[in-house]
A and B are shown apart, each in its own frame.
Chain A
Amino acid sequence: MSLIKEHGRITLAERPAIRDLERRLFLRQGLSIGALTLLTGCDVTDTDAVDGVLRSISRWNDRVQAWLFNPNKLAPTFAESQIDHNFRFNAFYPESKAPVIDGATWRLQLDGRIADKRPWTLAQLTALPQESQITRHVCVEGWSKIGKWGGVPLGRFLRQVGADTTAKYVGFTCADGYSSSMDMATALHPLTIMALTFADQTLPRKFGYPMKIRVPTKLGFKNPKFITAISVRDDNPGGYWEDRGYNWFSGI
Protein backbone atom coordinates (compact mmCIF):
# COMPACT_ATOMS: atom_id res chain seq x y z
CA MET A 1 0.00 0.00 0.00
CA SER A 2 2.84 2.34 0.78
CA LEU A 3 3.92 2.09 -2.86
CA ILE A 4 0.62 3.62 -3.88
CA LYS A 5 0.97 6.36 -1.30
CA GLU A 6 4.46 7.19 -2.52
CA HIS A 7 3.27 7.42 -6.09
CA GLY A 8 0.20 9.35 -4.97
CA ARG A 9 2.53 11.99 -3.63
CA ILE A 10 4.42 12.22 -6.92
CA THR A 11 1.23 12.69 -8.96
CA LEU A 12 0.97 16.15 -7.40
CA ALA A 13 3.54 17.24 -9.99
CA GLU A 14 2.02 20.03 -12.03
CA ARG A 15 3.18 19.30 -15.57
CA PRO A 16 0.43 17.29 -17.32
CA ALA A 17 2.87 15.04 -19.20
CA ILE A 18 4.57 13.96 -15.99
CA ARG A 19 1.22 13.65 -14.30
CA ASP A 20 0.02 11.33 -17.06
CA LEU A 21 3.16 9.24 -16.85
CA GLU A 22 2.87 9.01 -13.11
CA ARG A 23 -0.80 8.08 -13.37
CA ARG A 24 0.06 5.17 -15.63
CA LEU A 25 2.83 4.11 -13.27
CA PHE A 26 0.37 4.39 -10.41
CA LEU A 27 -2.07 2.08 -12.17
CA ARG A 28 0.65 -0.39 -13.00
CA GLN A 29 1.85 -0.50 -9.41
CA GLY A 30 -1.73 -0.91 -8.24
CA LEU A 31 -2.17 -3.77 -10.69
CA SER A 32 0.99 -5.53 -9.62
CA ILE A 33 -0.08 -5.34 -5.99
CA GLY A 34 -3.44 -6.76 -6.99
CA ALA A 35 -1.71 -9.54 -8.88
CA LEU A 36 0.44 -10.29 -5.86
CA THR A 37 -2.60 -10.74 -3.69
CA LEU A 38 -4.53 -12.77 -6.24
CA LEU A 39 -1.89 -15.01 -7.65
CA THR A 40 0.38 -15.78 -4.78
CA GLY A 41 -1.46 -14.64 -1.70
CA CYS A 42 1.65 -12.66 -0.82
CA ASP A 43 -0.27 -10.33 1.43
CA VAL A 44 -1.46 -13.43 3.25
CA THR A 45 2.00 -13.74 4.79
CA ASP A 46 1.61 -10.29 6.25
CA THR A 47 -1.46 -11.01 8.31
CA ASP A 48 -0.97 -11.85 11.96
CA ALA A 49 -2.92 -15.12 11.81
CA VAL A 50 -0.87 -16.67 8.99
CA ASP A 51 2.35 -15.25 10.38
CA GLY A 52 1.49 -16.84 13.73
CA VAL A 53 0.86 -20.26 12.18
CA LEU A 54 4.09 -20.09 10.16
CA ARG A 55 6.07 -19.16 13.26
CA SER A 56 4.50 -22.02 15.24
CA ILE A 57 5.62 -24.42 12.51
CA SER A 58 9.07 -22.82 12.71
CA ARG A 59 9.14 -23.58 16.49
CA TRP A 60 8.16 -27.17 15.62
CA ASN A 61 11.04 -27.23 13.12
CA ASP A 62 13.35 -26.10 15.96
CA ARG A 63 12.34 -29.18 17.93
CA VAL A 64 12.74 -31.52 14.94
CA GLN A 65 16.22 -30.14 14.27
CA ALA A 66 17.26 -30.42 17.94
CA TRP A 67 16.15 -34.05 17.77
CA LEU A 68 18.04 -34.58 14.50
CA PHE A 69 21.21 -32.92 15.86
CA ASN A 70 23.85 -35.52 16.68
CA PRO A 71 26.38 -33.99 19.14
CA ASN A 72 29.04 -36.44 18.00
CA LYS A 73 28.59 -36.00 14.27
CA LEU A 74 31.36 -33.83 12.83
CA ALA A 75 30.87 -31.54 9.88
CA PRO A 76 32.61 -32.64 6.66
CA THR A 77 36.11 -31.17 6.46
CA PHE A 78 38.01 -30.24 3.33
CA ALA A 79 41.56 -29.99 2.00
CA GLU A 80 43.51 -26.70 1.90
CA SER A 81 43.20 -26.83 -1.90
CA GLN A 82 39.40 -26.66 -1.66
CA ILE A 83 39.34 -23.36 0.27
CA ASP A 84 37.46 -20.50 -1.42
CA HIS A 85 39.81 -17.55 -1.48
CA ASN A 86 37.19 -14.99 -2.47
CA PHE A 87 35.28 -15.37 0.78
CA ARG A 88 32.50 -12.85 0.97
CA PHE A 89 31.57 -10.23 3.52
CA ASN A 90 28.06 -10.66 4.82
CA ALA A 91 26.08 -8.51 7.23
CA PHE A 92 22.94 -6.42 7.48
CA TYR A 93 25.07 -3.34 6.59
CA PRO A 94 27.76 -2.60 3.97
CA GLU A 95 31.36 -3.63 4.59
CA SER A 96 32.47 -0.02 5.15
CA LYS A 97 30.24 0.12 8.25
CA ALA A 98 31.94 -2.86 9.91
CA PRO A 99 33.11 -1.88 13.40
CA VAL A 100 36.78 -1.03 13.97
CA ILE A 101 37.84 -2.70 17.21
CA ASP A 102 41.07 -2.16 19.12
CA GLY A 103 42.24 -5.62 20.12
CA ALA A 104 44.31 -4.21 23.00
CA THR A 105 41.33 -2.72 24.82
CA TRP A 106 38.74 -5.28 23.67
CA ARG A 107 37.32 -7.51 26.40
CA LEU A 108 35.11 -10.59 26.19
CA GLN A 109 32.38 -10.22 28.83
CA LEU A 110 30.76 -13.27 30.40
CA ASP A 111 27.24 -13.27 31.73
CA GLY A 112 24.52 -15.55 33.10
CA ARG A 113 25.10 -18.98 34.57
CA ILE A 114 28.90 -18.86 34.53
CA ALA A 115 30.92 -19.29 37.75
CA ASP A 116 33.91 -17.13 36.78
CA LYS A 117 32.60 -14.02 35.02
CA ARG A 118 35.94 -12.18 34.83
CA PRO A 119 36.32 -10.61 31.36
CA TRP A 120 38.92 -12.07 28.99
CA THR A 121 41.53 -10.18 27.00
CA LEU A 122 42.50 -11.15 23.47
CA ALA A 123 45.99 -12.13 24.69
CA GLN A 124 44.50 -14.50 27.27
CA LEU A 125 42.32 -16.17 24.63
CA THR A 126 45.22 -16.44 22.20
CA ALA A 127 47.26 -18.18 24.93
CA LEU A 128 44.67 -20.99 25.21
CA PRO A 129 45.13 -24.17 23.11
CA GLN A 130 43.87 -23.46 19.57
CA GLU A 131 42.22 -25.71 17.01
CA SER A 132 41.53 -25.10 13.35
CA GLN A 133 39.07 -26.46 10.82
CA ILE A 134 38.42 -26.27 7.09
CA THR A 135 34.65 -26.42 6.83
CA ARG A 136 31.80 -25.25 4.63
CA HIS A 137 30.00 -22.05 5.56
CA VAL A 138 26.41 -22.46 4.30
CA CYS A 139 24.42 -19.25 4.03
CA VAL A 140 20.67 -19.20 4.62
CA GLU A 141 20.48 -17.68 1.11
CA GLY A 142 21.76 -20.92 -0.38
CA TRP A 143 25.35 -20.07 -1.38
CA SER A 144 28.25 -21.73 0.39
CA LYS A 145 32.00 -21.15 0.77
CA ILE A 146 34.74 -23.34 2.20
CA GLY A 147 37.02 -21.52 4.65
CA LYS A 148 39.58 -22.14 7.36
CA TRP A 149 39.05 -20.87 10.88
CA GLY A 150 41.11 -21.34 14.02
CA GLY A 151 40.50 -20.59 17.66
CA VAL A 152 39.36 -21.88 21.02
CA PRO A 153 36.70 -24.62 21.14
CA LEU A 154 33.69 -22.97 22.78
CA GLY A 155 32.72 -26.06 24.81
CA ARG A 156 36.20 -26.29 26.33
CA PHE A 157 36.13 -22.58 27.16
CA LEU A 158 32.66 -22.77 28.72
CA ARG A 159 33.77 -25.62 30.97
CA GLN A 160 36.93 -23.75 31.90
CA VAL A 161 35.01 -20.68 33.11
CA GLY A 162 32.57 -22.87 35.01
CA ALA A 163 29.52 -22.41 32.80
CA ASP A 164 26.46 -24.42 33.78
CA THR A 165 26.33 -26.77 30.78
CA THR A 166 22.86 -27.94 31.83
CA ALA A 167 21.55 -24.47 30.90
CA LYS A 168 19.57 -24.40 27.64
CA TYR A 169 21.01 -21.50 25.68
CA VAL A 170 24.21 -19.65 24.90
CA GLY A 171 23.75 -16.10 23.67
CA PHE A 172 26.20 -13.85 21.82
CA THR A 173 26.32 -10.05 21.79
CA CYS A 174 28.25 -8.29 19.04
CA ALA A 175 29.89 -4.88 18.65
CA ASP A 176 27.93 -4.16 15.45
CA GLY A 177 24.46 -4.40 16.99
CA TYR A 178 24.07 -8.00 15.84
CA SER A 179 23.26 -10.86 18.19
CA SER A 180 22.57 -14.57 17.98
CA SER A 181 22.15 -17.60 20.18
CA MET A 182 22.30 -21.38 20.08
CA ASP A 183 21.33 -24.48 22.01
CA MET A 184 23.80 -25.79 24.60
CA ALA A 185 24.29 -29.07 22.68
CA THR A 186 25.58 -27.15 19.67
CA ALA A 187 27.71 -24.84 21.83
CA LEU A 188 29.45 -27.95 23.25
CA HIS A 189 29.97 -29.54 19.80
CA PRO A 190 33.70 -30.12 19.20
CA LEU A 191 33.71 -28.03 15.99
CA THR A 192 32.01 -24.99 17.54
CA ILE A 193 34.91 -22.60 18.11
CA MET A 194 35.60 -19.03 19.22
CA ALA A 195 37.47 -18.17 16.02
CA LEU A 196 40.44 -15.82 16.28
CA THR A 197 41.99 -16.58 12.88
CA PHE A 198 40.76 -16.89 9.30
CA ALA A 199 42.93 -18.55 6.63
CA ASP A 200 45.75 -18.83 9.22
CA GLN A 201 45.82 -15.04 9.69
CA THR A 202 44.47 -12.89 12.51
CA LEU A 203 40.72 -12.64 11.94
CA PRO A 204 40.32 -9.68 9.54
CA ARG A 205 38.00 -6.81 10.38
CA LYS A 206 35.46 -7.82 7.72
CA PHE A 207 35.14 -11.30 9.20
CA GLY A 208 34.65 -10.15 12.78
CA TYR A 209 37.93 -9.07 14.42
CA PRO A 210 38.81 -9.92 17.08
CA MET A 211 36.48 -12.89 17.58
CA LYS A 212 33.67 -14.64 15.77
CA ILE A 213 31.78 -17.80 16.60
CA ARG A 214 32.41 -20.46 13.97
CA VAL A 215 29.74 -23.15 14.12
CA PRO A 216 29.82 -25.43 11.06
CA THR A 217 26.67 -27.28 12.16
CA LYS A 218 24.53 -24.17 11.68
CA LEU A 219 23.71 -21.70 8.90
CA GLY A 220 26.00 -18.73 8.36
CA PHE A 221 23.85 -16.18 10.18
CA LYS A 222 24.28 -18.27 13.37
CA ASN A 223 28.03 -17.50 13.17
CA PRO A 224 28.11 -14.04 14.80
CA LYS A 225 31.14 -11.73 14.40
CA PHE A 226 32.70 -8.97 16.57
CA ILE A 227 31.73 -10.85 19.76
CA THR A 228 31.71 -8.73 22.91
CA ALA A 229 29.78 -10.93 25.34
CA ILE A 230 28.74 -14.55 25.86
CA SER A 231 25.88 -15.43 28.18
CA VAL A 232 24.64 -18.81 29.40
CA ARG A 233 20.96 -18.90 30.23
CA ASP A 234 17.65 -20.77 30.29
CA ASP A 235 15.56 -18.21 28.41
CA ASN A 236 16.06 -18.02 24.66
CA PRO A 237 18.01 -14.84 23.83
CA GLY A 238 16.85 -14.94 20.17
CA GLY A 239 18.96 -12.91 17.77
CA TYR A 240 19.00 -10.28 15.04
CA TRP A 241 17.65 -12.39 12.16
CA GLU A 242 15.95 -14.90 14.46
CA ASP A 243 13.75 -12.08 15.76
CA ARG A 244 12.96 -11.16 12.14
CA GLY A 245 11.49 -14.54 11.31
CA TYR A 246 14.51 -16.71 10.46
CA ASN A 247 14.26 -20.17 11.95
CA TRP A 248 15.96 -20.11 15.35
CA PHE A 249 17.69 -23.51 15.39
CA SER A 250 18.88 -23.31 11.75
CA GLY A 251 20.99 -26.44 12.04
CA ILE A 252 22.49 -27.91 8.89
Chain B
Amino acid sequence: MRHDHPDGPTRLVTIHPLIVRLCHWGNALAILLMIGSGWKIYNNAPLFAFTFPAWATLGGSPSPAWHRHGDIGYAGALLWHFAAMWLMFAASAAYLSYGLLSGHFRKTLLPVTPAGVAHDVADALTGRLDHRLGVRNQVQRLLYIAAIAGIILMLLSGLAIWKPVQLQELTALFGGYDTAREIHFFGMCGLVLFLAVHLGLTALVPKVLPPMITGRGYVPLDVLEAESRR
Protein backbone atom coordinates (compact mmCIF):
# COMPACT_ATOMS: atom_id res chain seq x y z
CA MET B 1 0.00 0.00 0.00
CA ARG B 2 1.43 3.34 -1.07
CA HIS B 3 0.76 6.49 0.83
CA ASP B 4 1.46 10.18 0.18
CA HIS B 5 3.75 11.62 2.77
CA PRO B 6 6.14 14.58 3.14
CA ASP B 7 9.02 12.05 3.19
CA GLY B 8 8.02 10.90 -0.31
CA PRO B 9 6.26 7.65 -1.20
CA THR B 10 5.89 5.39 1.83
CA ARG B 11 4.48 1.99 2.65
CA LEU B 12 2.75 0.82 5.86
CA VAL B 13 5.06 -1.86 7.25
CA THR B 14 5.87 -3.56 10.53
CA ILE B 15 8.66 -1.54 12.10
CA HIS B 16 8.77 -3.23 15.50
CA PRO B 17 7.68 -6.90 15.66
CA LEU B 18 5.45 -7.90 18.58
CA ILE B 19 8.30 -9.61 20.45
CA VAL B 20 10.39 -6.42 20.31
CA ARG B 21 7.48 -4.30 21.56
CA LEU B 22 6.72 -6.70 24.42
CA CYS B 23 10.39 -6.74 25.44
CA HIS B 24 10.63 -2.95 25.12
CA TRP B 25 7.65 -2.19 27.34
CA GLY B 26 8.40 -5.04 29.75
CA ASN B 27 11.90 -3.69 30.20
CA ALA B 28 10.66 -0.10 30.41
CA LEU B 29 8.36 -1.03 33.30
CA ALA B 30 11.01 -3.21 34.94
CA ILE B 31 13.67 -0.47 34.74
CA LEU B 32 11.35 2.13 36.27
CA LEU B 33 10.46 -0.28 39.10
CA MET B 34 14.12 -1.19 39.59
CA ILE B 35 15.22 2.46 39.69
CA GLY B 36 12.41 3.54 42.04
CA SER B 37 12.94 0.67 44.47
CA GLY B 38 16.72 0.79 44.05
CA TRP B 39 16.76 4.46 45.07
CA LYS B 40 14.84 3.65 48.22
CA ILE B 41 17.25 0.80 49.01
CA TYR B 42 20.15 3.20 48.36
CA ASN B 43 18.63 5.84 50.66
CA ASN B 44 18.66 3.39 53.56
CA ALA B 45 22.47 3.12 53.41
CA PRO B 46 23.76 5.80 50.99
CA LEU B 47 27.06 5.10 49.23
CA PHE B 48 27.70 8.81 48.78
CA ALA B 49 26.82 12.03 50.59
CA PHE B 50 23.36 12.38 49.09
CA THR B 51 20.02 10.60 48.98
CA PHE B 52 17.31 10.45 46.34
CA PRO B 53 14.12 12.46 46.96
CA ALA B 54 11.56 10.26 48.69
CA TRP B 55 8.85 11.14 46.16
CA ALA B 56 10.89 9.52 43.39
CA THR B 57 11.32 6.24 45.26
CA LEU B 58 9.16 3.15 45.28
CA GLY B 59 8.36 0.86 48.15
CA GLY B 60 5.49 2.28 50.11
CA SER B 61 4.99 5.63 51.75
CA PRO B 62 6.47 5.58 55.25
CA SER B 63 3.33 6.08 57.30
CA PRO B 64 1.09 3.26 55.98
CA ALA B 65 4.11 0.97 55.60
CA TRP B 66 4.98 1.52 59.26
CA HIS B 67 1.38 0.86 60.22
CA ARG B 68 1.27 -2.31 58.14
CA HIS B 69 4.76 -3.79 58.48
CA GLY B 70 6.46 -1.89 61.28
CA ASP B 71 8.94 -0.83 58.62
CA ILE B 72 9.24 2.55 56.87
CA GLY B 73 8.81 1.12 53.40
CA TYR B 74 12.23 -0.42 52.99
CA ALA B 75 10.81 -3.96 52.98
CA GLY B 76 8.41 -2.89 50.22
CA ALA B 77 11.31 -1.53 48.16
CA LEU B 78 13.19 -4.83 48.50
CA LEU B 79 10.07 -6.78 47.52
CA TRP B 80 9.63 -4.58 44.42
CA HIS B 81 13.32 -4.81 43.49
CA PHE B 82 13.51 -8.60 43.69
CA ALA B 83 10.17 -8.99 41.88
CA ALA B 84 10.95 -6.56 39.04
CA MET B 85 14.31 -8.27 38.49
CA TRP B 86 12.42 -11.27 37.06
CA LEU B 87 10.57 -9.04 34.60
CA MET B 88 13.86 -7.38 33.63
CA PHE B 89 15.55 -10.76 33.29
CA ALA B 90 12.70 -12.27 31.23
CA ALA B 91 12.34 -9.26 28.92
CA SER B 92 16.11 -8.96 28.42
CA ALA B 93 16.66 -12.69 27.87
CA ALA B 94 13.83 -12.83 25.32
CA TYR B 95 15.10 -9.69 23.55
CA LEU B 96 18.74 -10.84 23.45
CA SER B 97 17.78 -14.31 22.17
CA TYR B 98 15.51 -12.84 19.51
CA GLY B 99 18.00 -10.14 18.56
CA LEU B 100 20.91 -12.55 18.18
CA LEU B 101 19.05 -15.47 16.57
CA SER B 102 16.79 -13.59 14.14
CA GLY B 103 19.44 -11.22 12.83
CA HIS B 104 17.48 -8.28 14.31
CA PHE B 105 20.61 -6.87 15.98
CA ARG B 106 22.69 -7.24 12.83
CA LYS B 107 20.02 -5.49 10.76
CA THR B 108 19.13 -2.68 13.16
CA LEU B 109 22.22 -2.07 15.32
CA LEU B 110 25.05 -2.58 12.84
CA PRO B 111 27.18 -1.18 11.42
CA VAL B 112 28.52 1.28 13.95
CA THR B 113 31.87 2.85 13.12
CA PRO B 114 33.65 5.80 14.75
CA ALA B 115 33.55 7.66 11.43
CA GLY B 116 29.84 6.93 11.02
CA VAL B 117 29.05 8.11 14.53
CA ALA B 118 31.11 11.30 14.03
CA HIS B 119 29.33 11.93 10.73
CA ASP B 120 25.87 11.50 12.27
CA VAL B 121 26.74 13.64 15.29
CA ALA B 122 27.79 16.40 12.88
CA ASP B 123 24.53 15.95 10.95
CA ALA B 124 22.50 16.10 14.16
CA LEU B 125 24.25 19.30 15.28
CA THR B 126 23.62 20.98 11.93
CA GLY B 127 20.01 19.79 11.75
CA ARG B 128 20.60 17.57 8.73
CA LEU B 129 20.01 14.22 10.46
CA ASP B 130 17.57 11.86 8.72
CA HIS B 131 14.60 11.50 11.09
CA ARG B 132 12.39 9.45 8.78
CA LEU B 133 10.76 6.34 10.23
CA GLY B 134 12.75 3.18 9.72
CA VAL B 135 16.06 5.04 9.66
CA ARG B 136 18.42 4.35 12.54
CA ASN B 137 21.40 6.67 12.54
CA GLN B 138 24.70 5.57 14.03
CA VAL B 139 24.40 7.69 17.18
CA GLN B 140 21.08 5.98 17.86
CA ARG B 141 22.61 2.56 17.24
CA LEU B 142 25.50 3.31 19.56
CA LEU B 143 23.06 4.50 22.22
CA TYR B 144 20.97 1.32 21.97
CA ILE B 145 24.04 -0.91 22.06
CA ALA B 146 25.15 0.97 25.19
CA ALA B 147 21.70 0.56 26.75
CA ILE B 148 21.68 -3.19 26.05
CA ALA B 149 25.20 -3.48 27.49
CA GLY B 150 24.07 -1.39 30.46
CA ILE B 151 21.15 -3.69 31.20
CA ILE B 152 23.40 -6.75 31.00
CA LEU B 153 25.87 -5.01 33.33
CA MET B 154 23.07 -4.24 35.79
CA LEU B 155 21.81 -7.83 35.76
CA LEU B 156 25.31 -9.24 36.29
CA SER B 157 26.44 -6.72 38.93
CA GLY B 158 23.06 -7.15 40.62
CA LEU B 159 23.61 -10.92 40.77
CA ALA B 160 27.12 -10.30 42.12
CA ILE B 161 25.84 -8.26 45.09
CA TRP B 162 22.74 -10.43 45.60
CA LYS B 163 24.78 -13.66 45.82
CA PRO B 164 28.38 -12.79 46.84
CA VAL B 165 28.80 -16.28 48.36
CA GLN B 166 26.98 -18.61 45.98
CA LEU B 167 28.19 -16.64 42.93
CA GLN B 168 31.47 -15.50 44.52
CA GLU B 169 33.40 -16.08 41.28
CA LEU B 170 31.16 -13.52 39.54
CA THR B 171 31.52 -11.12 42.50
CA ALA B 172 35.31 -11.53 42.31
CA LEU B 173 35.14 -10.74 38.59
CA PHE B 174 33.53 -7.41 39.52
CA GLY B 175 36.38 -6.71 41.95
CA GLY B 176 34.66 -7.90 45.13
CA TYR B 177 31.40 -7.07 46.88
CA ASP B 178 31.97 -3.36 47.55
CA THR B 179 33.22 -2.64 44.03
CA ALA B 180 30.34 -4.63 42.52
CA ARG B 181 27.95 -2.49 44.57
CA GLU B 182 29.55 0.68 43.21
CA ILE B 183 29.42 -0.67 39.65
CA HIS B 184 25.71 -1.42 40.19
CA PHE B 185 25.24 2.19 41.28
CA PHE B 186 27.12 3.73 38.34
CA GLY B 187 25.38 1.34 35.94
CA MET B 188 22.10 2.75 37.25
CA CYS B 189 23.40 6.29 36.59
CA GLY B 190 24.18 5.24 33.02
CA LEU B 191 20.69 3.81 32.50
CA VAL B 192 19.08 6.94 33.98
CA LEU B 193 21.16 9.02 31.57
CA PHE B 194 20.07 6.80 28.69
CA LEU B 195 16.42 7.13 29.77
CA ALA B 196 16.73 10.93 29.81
CA VAL B 197 18.27 11.01 26.31
CA HIS B 198 15.85 8.37 24.99
CA LEU B 199 12.77 10.20 26.31
CA GLY B 200 14.19 13.56 25.22
CA LEU B 201 14.75 12.37 21.65
CA THR B 202 11.29 10.77 21.58
CA ALA B 203 9.82 14.10 22.64
CA LEU B 204 11.77 15.82 19.82
CA VAL B 205 10.67 13.27 17.19
CA PRO B 206 7.33 12.03 18.57
CA LYS B 207 6.35 10.14 15.41
CA VAL B 208 8.66 7.31 16.52
CA LEU B 209 6.41 6.54 19.50
CA PRO B 210 3.22 5.13 17.85
CA PRO B 211 5.12 2.36 15.98
CA MET B 212 6.56 1.15 19.32
CA ILE B 213 2.93 0.69 20.44
CA THR B 214 1.15 -0.53 17.28
CA GLY B 215 4.24 -1.97 15.63
CA ARG B 216 3.44 -0.36 12.26
CA GLY B 217 4.32 2.84 10.52
CA TYR B 218 4.71 4.47 7.08
CA VAL B 219 8.31 3.94 6.01
CA PRO B 220 9.70 5.76 2.93
CA LEU B 221 10.20 3.37 -0.01
CA ASP B 222 13.85 4.29 -0.48
CA VAL B 223 14.52 3.41 3.18
CA LEU B 224 12.81 0.04 2.65
CA GLU B 225 14.86 -0.59 -0.49
CA ALA B 226 18.10 0.29 1.29
CA GLU B 227 17.16 -2.10 4.10
CA SER B 228 16.31 -4.96 1.76
CA ARG B 229 19.78 -4.74 0.25
CA ARG B 230 21.45 -5.35 3.67
Give A residues with C-beta under 8 Å from B: 1-3, 32-33, 35-36, 39-43, 45-46, 51, 53-55, 57-58, 61, 68-70, 73, 75-76, 136, 138-144, 216-217, 241, 244-247, 251-252
Residue in A35, A51, A61, A142 whose Cβ sees the most chain B Cβ within 10 Å: A142
Residue of B nearest to A42 (CB): B61
- Give the 8 A-B residue pairs with the shortest CB-CB distance, closest first: A245-B75, A141-B45, A45-B60, A54-B79, A57-B83, A46-B64, A45-B76, A244-B69
Given contacts A39-B55, A54-B80, A144-B177, 4 further A-B contacts (CB under 8 A): A32-B55, A57-B79, A57-B82, A76-B164
Q: Which of A36, A69, A70, A75 gathers the greatest number of chain B CB atoms within 10 Å?
A: A36
- Which residue on chain A has the smallest CB distance to residue B63? A2
25 sample A-B contacts, Cβ–Cβ < 8 Å, listed by A number: A2-B67, A36-B54, A40-B36, A40-B55, A40-B56, A42-B57, A42-B59, A43-B61, A51-B76, A53-B83, A54-B79, A54-B83, A55-B79, A58-B82, A69-B166, A70-B166, A75-B168, A140-B78, A217-B166, A244-B75, A245-B69, A246-B78, A251-B163, A252-B164, A252-B165
Contacts of B130 in A (CB 8 A): none
Contact, CB under 8 Å: B44 / A141:
yes
For residue B42, CB closer than 8 A to chain A, the reply is: yes
Q: Which residues of A contact B151 (CB under 8 A)?
A: none
Residues of A within 8 A of B54 (CB): 36
B73 within 8 A of A: yes
Report yes or no: B83 in contact with A36, Cβ–Cβ below 8 A. Answer: no
- What is B's interface to A at a CB cutoff of 8 Å? 36, 41-42, 44-45, 47, 54-61, 63-65, 67-71, 73-76, 78-80, 82-83, 86, 161-166, 168, 172, 177-178, 181
Is B166's CB under 8 angstroms from A138's CB? no
- Contact between B45 and A136, CB atoms less than 8 A apart: no
Which chain B residues lie closer than 8 Å to A141 at the CB level?
Answer: 41, 44-45, 74
Cα A251 to Cα B65 with chains together (Å): 24
B58 x A217 contact (CB < 8 A): no
| B45 CB → nearest A CB, Å | 4
Q: How far is the CB of B166 from chain A (nearest CB, A)?
A: 5
Asked whether A136 lies within 8 Å of B55 as measured between CB atoms, the reply is no
Give chain B's interface secondary structure class. Answer: helix
Residues of A within 8 A of B45 (CB): 139, 141-143
Q: Shortest CB–CB separation between residue B186 and chain A, in angstroms?
A: 14
B64 surroundings in chain A (CB, below 8 A): 1-2, 43, 46
Contact between B60 and A42 (Cβ–Cβ < 8 Å)?
yes
A222 to B64 CA separation, bound complex (whole angstroms): 25
Q: A70-B166, A217-B165 are in contact. Are A45 and B65 (CB under 8 A)?
A: yes
Q: Which residues of B contact A75 (CB under 8 A)?
A: 165, 168
Residue pair A46, B41 in contact (C-beta under 8 Å): no
On chain B, the residues within 8 Å of A216 by CB distance are 165
CB of B80 within 8 A of CB of A45, answer: yes
Minimum CB–CB distance for A249 against chain B, Å: 11
Nearest residue in A to B86 (C-beta to C-beta)? A57
Contact, CB under 8 Å: B59 / A76? no
> B172 to chain A: which residues have CB within 8 Å?
76
Residues in A neighbouring B69, C-beta threshold 8 A: 244-245
- Determine which of A2, A40, A136 lies in contact with B57 in the assembled complex, contact meaning CB atoms within 8 Å: A40
The residue from A51, A61, A69, A76 contacting B168, defined by CB atoms under 8 A apart = A76
Complex: how many Å from CA A70 to CA B166? 7
Q: Known: A142-B41, A144-B178. Contact between A244 and B71, CB under 8 A?
A: yes
